[in-house]
Amino acid sequence: WVRTGDGSTSIGTGFLAIKDGVAVTAWHVVKGATSVHAKFSNGELFECSGLIDKDEKRDVALIRVKVFGRPLLEATKADPAVGAKAFLVGAPKGLEFTFTDGLISQLRDVEGMKQYQFSCDASPGNSGGPLLNSEGLVSGVVSWRLRDGTNLNFAVPIGYALGLDSTLPTQPWASVGPSTAPPQSRGAAAVS
């Protein structure tokens, strides 16, 4: 869960990848955070000490989780095929570790960036979660959806997150502060 400067809380999703203690999520999930905690499927709660790196335009971030020795999700380098099976793991409406399936609907160019359109059910709380292929490899990071449609959801390619610098020093949440919203077309909303 994420607590912001005004005292409000929200729920998003993230996943361990790259190396021990590094989680990938959507930037809009943690922007403006004053504290972040990660809950694992066994019920354990761990503090996330801060931001490692971010790409605001592409809506991805790496955050530091005070955990060691947990399994890391592997990424695929290839774009998914249109019509391929797709899966999400997330916390839609706070229902933690919900697994949904669907298809890759299309590969899109949105404001000059590659995006994966998918039909898996996604609700607030899914943002930042992994978009998985049928082999269980991460192909994308859940980012946004069109409000006036059904299952018109979008993820950014995992390559955008892998391109961030996981060796940067961790910035405490107090020094991160709020920032601009992720790029979205008119009528779009963040999934978190």
In the residue annotation, 6 being an active-site residue is answered as no
* 102's tokens: 């669907």
CA gap 136, 174 in Å, rounded: 35
Q: Does the annotation count 127 as an active-site position?
A: yes
37 is catalytic: no
The catalytic position among 10, 53, 59, 143 is 59
How does strand 138-146 pair with strand 85-90? unpaired
Residue 80: how many CB atoms within 10 A of its CB? 23
Q: Which of 10, 28, 105, 192 is catalytic?
A: 28
How would you write 18-86 as a 3-class SS string? CCCCEEEECHHHHCCEEEEEEECCCCCEEEEEEEEEEECCCCEEEEEECCCCCCCCCECCCCCCCCCEE
Selecting among 10, 105, 123, 127, the annotated active-site residue is: 127
Positions marked catalytic: 28, 59, 127
